[in-house]
Every structure is written in structure tokens, then in C-alpha cells.
């Protein structure tokens, strides 16, 4: 009888009966003019393997497949399927220890953004970066692209010698060969493939602490170093809460403005949008979030995208514990209130897909990028808060530390989580009504409400324009909460008063700025249009593009503008952002 085969991840061709790769050796030449990687990937197994091996690929041209000793192996590259890409099937003879694949990536690889010099801070050199989460690693390397299967890796990147290459791994040296620099890296801890990451460009570094430095293009470096100067204190607080930091270094990379996310927790080298460099450290909760993933996510990973809340819900919880320790309960409550509002918006956005508002989801045939929302983040956070309230903070924190300690370097499902907490804190799940949280849609009735006197003060305004004395002490978080509480559309006079009195269109804090611009766009407040266009043209962070395009598209008068702006700026957006904005503007 044939072994039973099963797909344990709806987003991978990997079959649980097949051999699993343990390590990867990658060599890639970065061709910035052709926008391709010319590469060789060697996947090694833990023992002798045989039979069929199915790898995930997307838009790769496969040139040759060999075993570890250089003997050619027969392979089939199947036609591309939606979401998954192309299955690469390789027949392994008995006793195969490794497969070596020579291939080339496509200029439209979904994980890569190739930037022209004008799209960078320095404007002089091109830039390349990868963004593999959730299922884009396969457009860079043929691999078992499922977080179930962790690998260690070594990598060698060949880049033009005037540039730097950085990777989410330990650097082990740079040598120069003619026009080329060869940068080598090693990742000794096993990681899920979505954490494979690199960037190439004109990069420089500044030291922040003995285990942390920030990388940026030279014109950004000083500002970035000031913004992130508190990182060591953050790491210490996080270690006190969650146990030792396991990844040796916590370096930061300030990305060009087109980076589609706020941050990405690539191990040893978190990628950060430059929009959080506000000048006053007011947006460093994003750093706390990516740091928190070093425990919740990178140490304990969701086994597939259906359990994404285990990554993000736990990380938002951990992020806010760090924030609470550093900035106090009130600040933490304000952030939770902002999160709560974004959750309510996401639930409305998914009105016709309530199944995507569960924590435990079913995603066969669903693209994780399409399912992405604040639900796993903020509903996950609230669920963990509910559990915390059910058992008390001390017991919950003790459980969390044991959960991290016992499941580290594993990839788990919601069922594994349930088993673990039920074993340690019997009855907690029932007491918190876990069933409703995990498998029910929307927001369960027992959701804890954010409470803070500052929040109440904002709510008592009922959207009216606040007096100067009141806002004198407002933090950016309060401004954001206030602006999001104003019913839309707001009267034009109110928009004018707000803008003229408080200079919102000039705000240097992107969260405040975009909350304001969304309100302005939803209220047809025309003086804000040039700034809206400027943001859409300069910034590629989806969190900002989405509400601005959506607000412009909602009003029949500005709808044509939304399409014009998209035509004008789409070339500069990341492939994933382009896809998302396309679906905002032309809903199915």
C-alpha cells in the first residue's frame, strides 16, 4: 500500500508523506538591470530520501535539477495554478541526500521589489528587497513553502561591489571579485521559509547597542538611529516578560518608502517602513511588535495561514505588554482602543465573508493576501486578554512563558494551542468562551472594552472640534483616536477649522496624517487633495494606501481621481500592494 498522503497546508504542494528538507544552501547573482536572480539552491534532507518530491515555485525558470553529487534528476514543472503557483516535481532515486536546482527568478517575482534610484532615499542607486510572508518565498527559491517545515540555511549573494547586501541571518563575510562583492550569510536556527529575507542597496549602519544596529540608506541613517535609540531597553523589557532573546542580534533595516508593511519580523534583521521615523519616537510600537515576534511567531509559528492569529494575536498581546511596561497602562489602553476600532472596521469590510472574521479559518482556495485583515491581530489580542482576565494576569503570564519555552522552534495549529493551555490552565478556555472566539464570526459578547480616562475625554467630544486647551496635552495616539471618532462625512467647516487650527495636513506623524487625510477625503475637503496625492505617490505602505484609495473611490466626485492616481503611481507600488489596491478599486 502507498503511504497516505496529505496536504497539511492548503497553500503548499508539500505532501506530508514526502521527505522534508532540513537545510538550504543558496547562491544568487543579483542582476539589477535584468531584475532577476540567477541562482542555485541546494536542499538537503536529514537522511537518505527517495520517491517524489514536490516543491513550491512561482514564476521560476528551472534550468537543471541534480542530486548532491551532480547527477541529473528528471523533473516536471507543472502549469501555474492560481494562488499556489507551479508544482515542481522531482523524482529522487534511492538514497538521495540533496537536490540542487539551477534557476532564474522572474522580474515580476511576487516577493521582490526592484526599485529604481528615484524610488530610494538617496536617489542614486537601485534597491532590491524581498518580502516573503505569507507565501512568496516560492517566487525566490524552489522550496517546501510552508511554515510547517523549518530550515536552516547558508546563502551567498553576488551584488555589484558598490552596494551592500544584508540578510535576516548572521553575516559571515564579504569578498570582492572584480565587479562583484560576494556577501555570505548563515542562519543557524531553523526558520519557516517566510522568514527568508534580504535587501541590496546603498546601505550604511549605526550602532544602537552591543546587540543592535540600524541599517538605512545614508540620508536616513541619522534620523533612524535617533528614532530607534531605545531599542535595547525594549529588548530587556521583552526578555523580562517572555524569556531570553534567542536570535543573538536584533538589527533593524529602514526600508525605502514603498515597503508595503509597517514592519516585518525577519529574524535578526527586522524590516521597518520609514513612515515610523516620526522624529519623536511616537511610532516605535511597531518596533515593539516586530521584536515581540522574536518569541511569538519566529519561535512559535503558525503551521499554516489558517492559524495566523497564533502569530499576530499573540504578538499584539506581547507588543502591548512591552508598551505597558515602557509607557504605562494609559498609553497601552489608547493603542488597544485604536486596535479595537480597526477591528470593527475589518469586521464591516468582511460583512459578506464572516468566515474570514473567525480566528481559526479555512483557507483552501483563498489567497492569504486577500484574507489579510486586522482580525487575527486585534480579535486575537482581545481573546488573549479575555483569557488573561479569566485566570488572572500572573497565572496567564506564567502560562505564556511556559508555552514559549515548551513549544519554541515549532510550528503549531490552534488545536495545539488549545491542548497546551487546557493542560496548564484547565477550564480557562471554557471560562473565556473560546469556542465563540476561535470558531465564531465577529466580536464575541464577552470582549473586554478598552477603558481609560483619556479615551473617555475623547469620546465625550462626540466628534466636535476640540478646544486648544484640550488638545495641548494630546499624544499622537489621542489625535488619531479623535480623528477616527469623527462621523464621516464631516461638515466642511469642521474640516477647515481642524486643519487651520491644528495644521493636520502638515502632521509629521503618519498615523495622524493618514487618519486626517481619510477623514478629509471622506468629507470631500478639497484642500487636502494635494497632500493625499503626495502620500499616494511617495508611500507604499498598504495600511495607508487602502483607506485613502477607498475614501476617494467612495465619493463619485473623487472616484475618477482614485483611478488616475493609481494609474500614475502603481508602477512604484510593491506587487502585493498593487494587487490590493486593484481590488479596492474594482471589487469583484
* Cβ 156 vs Cβ 171: under 8 Å: no
Mark whether 183 is an active-site residue. no
CB of 536 to ligand BES, least distance (A): 17
CB of 392 to ligand BES, least distance (A): 27
CB contact at 8 A, 386 and 448? yes
Contact partner, 134, from Zn ion, ligand BES, none, Cβ < 5-8 Å per class: ligand BES
Residues of this chain that interact with ligand BES (CB under 6 A) are 133-134, 261-265, 285-286, 289-290, 293, 312, 372, 377, 543
Of 543 and 554, the one with the shorter C-beta distance to ligand BES is: 543
- Using CA atoms, how far apart are residues 432 and 415, in angstroms rounded to an integer? 16
Give me the residues paired with residue 30 across strands.
37
What are the helix and strand counts (H, E) for the chain?
20, 19
* Residue (315 or 386) nearer to Zn ion, CB: 315
Which residue's Cβ lies closest to ligand BES?
Answer: 262
Tell me the three state secondary structure of residue 463: coil
Minimal distance in Å, beta carbon 377 to ligand BES?
6
Q: Among this protein's residues, is 544 annotated catalytic?
A: no
Determine if the peptide bond prior to 134 is cis (ω within 30°). Answer: yes
Picked from Zn ion, ligand BES, none, the partner binding residue 286 (CB below 5 to 8 A depending on kind) is: ligand BES
CB nearer to ligand BES: pick between 19 and 147:
147
Measured CA to CA, the distance from residue 207 to residue 245 in angstroms comes to 19
242 binds, among Zn ion, ligand BES, none (CB under 5 to 8 A by kind): none
State the minimum distance, in angstroms, from the CB of residue 215 to ligand BES.
18
Q: Decide if 43 contacts 23 (C-beta within 8 A).
A: yes
11/27 with CB nearer ligand BES: 11
At closest approach, how far in Å is the CB of 312 from ligand BES?
6
**DSSP H helical ranges for 98-191:** none
* SS3 of the chain: helix, strand, coil, percent, to 5: 40, 25, 35
Q: Residue 264 binds which one of ligand BES, Zn ion, none, with CB within 5 to 8 A depending on kind?
A: ligand BES
Distances (CA, A) of 524 to 415, 494, 529, 567: 48, 12, 9, 21
Min CB(319)–Zn ion separation in Å: 8
Set 290, 306, 312, 511: catalytic member:
290
549: partner contacted, choices ligand BES, Zn ion, none (Cβ within 5-8 A by kind) = none
Q: Which does 133 bind (CB under 5 to 8 A by kind): Zn ion, ligand BES, none?
A: ligand BES
| Interacting residues with Zn ion (CB under 5 A) | 312, 315
Question: CA-CA distance, 587 to 580, in Å (whole number)?
Answer: 10
Give the pairing of strands 300-302 and 410-412: parallel
> Cα-flanking dihedrals φ and ψ of residue 408, to 5°?
-60, 145
Task: Specify the residue, 304 or 315, whose C-beta has the smaller distance to Zn ion.
Answer: 315
The residue (of 551 and 577) whose beta carbon lies closer to ligand BES is 577
Beta bridge partners of 187: 153
Catalytic position from the list 153, 377, 502, 549:
377
Residues marked as catalytic: 290, 377
Amino acid at each position: 500500500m502507498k503511504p497516505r498522503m496529505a496536504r497539511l497546508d492548503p497553500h503548499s504542494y508539500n505532501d506530508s508523506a514526502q521527505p522534508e528538507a532540513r537545510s538550504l544552501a543558496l547562491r544568487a547573482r543579483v542582476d539589477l538591470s535584468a531584475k532577476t536572480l540567477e541562482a542555485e539552491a541546494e536542499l538537503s534532507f536529514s537522511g537518505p530520501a527517495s520517491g517524489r518530491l514536490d516543491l513550491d515555485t512561482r514564476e521560476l525558470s528551472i534550468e537543471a535539477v541534480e542530486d548532491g553529487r551532480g547527477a541529473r534528476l528528471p523533473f516536471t514543472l507543472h502549469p501555474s495554478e492560481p494562488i499556489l503557483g507551479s508544482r515542481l516535481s522531482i523524482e529522487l532515486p534511492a538514497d538521495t541526500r540533496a537536490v540542487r536546482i539551477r534557476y532564474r527568478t522572474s522580474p515580476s517575482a511576487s516577493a521582490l521589489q526592484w526599485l529604481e534610484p528615484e524610488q530610494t532615499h538617496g536617489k542614486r542607486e537601485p534597491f532590491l528587497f524581498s518580502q516573503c510572508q505569507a507565501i512568496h518565498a516560492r517566487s525566490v527559491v524552489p522550496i517546501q513553502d510552508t511554515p510547517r517545515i523549518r530550515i536552516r540555511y547558508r546563502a551567498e549573494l553576488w551584488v555589484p561591489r558598490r552596494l551592500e547586501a544584508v540578510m535576516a541571518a548572521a553575516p559571515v563575510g564579504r569578498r570582492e571579485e572584480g565587479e562583484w562583492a560576494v556577501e555570505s550569510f548563515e542562519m543557524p536556527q531553523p526558520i519557516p521559509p517566510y522568514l527568508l529575507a534580504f535587501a541590496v542597496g546603498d546601505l550604511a549602519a549605526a550602532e544602537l547597542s552591543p546587540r543592535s544596529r540600524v541599517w538605512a540608506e545614508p540620508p536616513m541613517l541619522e534620523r533612524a538611529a535617533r528614532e530607534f535609540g531605545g531599542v535595547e531597553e525594549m529588548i530587556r523589557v521583552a526578555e523580562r516578560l517572555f524569556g531570553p532573546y534567542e536570535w543573538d542580534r536584533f538589527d533593524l533595516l529602514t526600508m525605502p518608502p514603498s515597503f508595503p508593511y509597517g514592519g516585518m519580523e525577519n529574524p535578526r534583521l527586522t524590516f521597518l517602513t520609514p513612515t515610523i521615523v516620526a522624529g519623536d519616537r511616537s511610532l516605535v510600537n511597531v518596533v515593539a511588535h516586530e521584536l515581540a515576534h522574536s518569541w511569538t511567531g519566529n519561535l512559535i509559528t503558525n503551521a499554516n495561514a489558517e492559524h495566523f492569529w497564533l502569530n499576530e494575536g499573540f504578538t499584539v498581546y506581547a507588543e502591548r505588554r512591552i508598551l505597558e511596561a515602557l509607557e504605562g497602562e494609559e498609553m497601552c489602553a489608547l493603542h488597544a482602543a485604536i486596535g479595537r476600532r480597526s477591528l470593527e472596521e475589518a469586521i464591516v469590510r468582511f460583512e459578506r465573508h464572516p468566515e474570514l472574521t473567525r480566528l481559526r479559518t479555512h483557507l483552501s482556495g483563498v489567497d492569504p493576501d486577500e484574507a489579510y485583515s486586522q482580525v487575527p491581530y486585534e480579535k486575537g489580542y482581545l481573546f488573549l486578554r479575555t483569557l488573561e482576565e479569566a485566570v488572572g494576569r500572573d497565572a496567564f503570564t506564567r502560562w505564556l512563558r511556559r508555552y514559549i519555552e515548551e513549544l519554541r522552534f515549532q510550528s503549531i495549529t490552534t488545536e495545539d494551542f488549545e491542548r497546551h493551555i487546557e493542560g496548564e490552565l484547565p477550564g480557562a478556555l471554557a471560562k473565556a468562551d473560546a469556542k465563540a472566539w476561535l470558531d465564531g464570526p465577529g466580536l464575541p459578547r464577552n470582549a473586554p472594552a478598552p477603558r481609560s480616562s483619556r479615551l473617555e475625554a475623547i469620546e465625550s467630544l462626540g466628534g466636535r472640534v476640540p478646544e486648544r486647551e484640550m488638545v495641548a496635552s494630546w499624544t499622537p495616539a489621542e489625535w488619531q483616536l479623535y480623528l477616527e471618532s469623527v462621523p464621516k462625512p464631516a461638515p466642511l467647516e469642521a474640516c477647515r477649522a481642524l486643519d487651520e487650527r491644528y495644521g493636520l495636513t502638515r502632521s509629521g506623524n503618519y498615523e495622524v496624517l493618514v487618519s486626517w487625510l481619510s477623514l478629509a477625503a471622506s468629507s470631500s475637503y478639497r484642500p487636502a487633495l494635494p497632500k493625499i496625492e503626495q502620500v499616494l505617490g511617495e508611500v507604499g505602505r498598504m495600511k495607508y494606501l487602502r483607506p485613502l484609495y477607498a475614501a476617494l473611490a467612495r465619493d463619485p466626485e473623487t472616484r475618477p481621481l482614485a483611478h488616475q492616481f493609481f494609474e500614475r503611481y502603481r508602477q512604484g507600488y510593491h506587487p502585493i500592494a498593487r494587487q490590493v489596491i486593484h481590488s479596492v478599486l474594482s471589487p469583484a
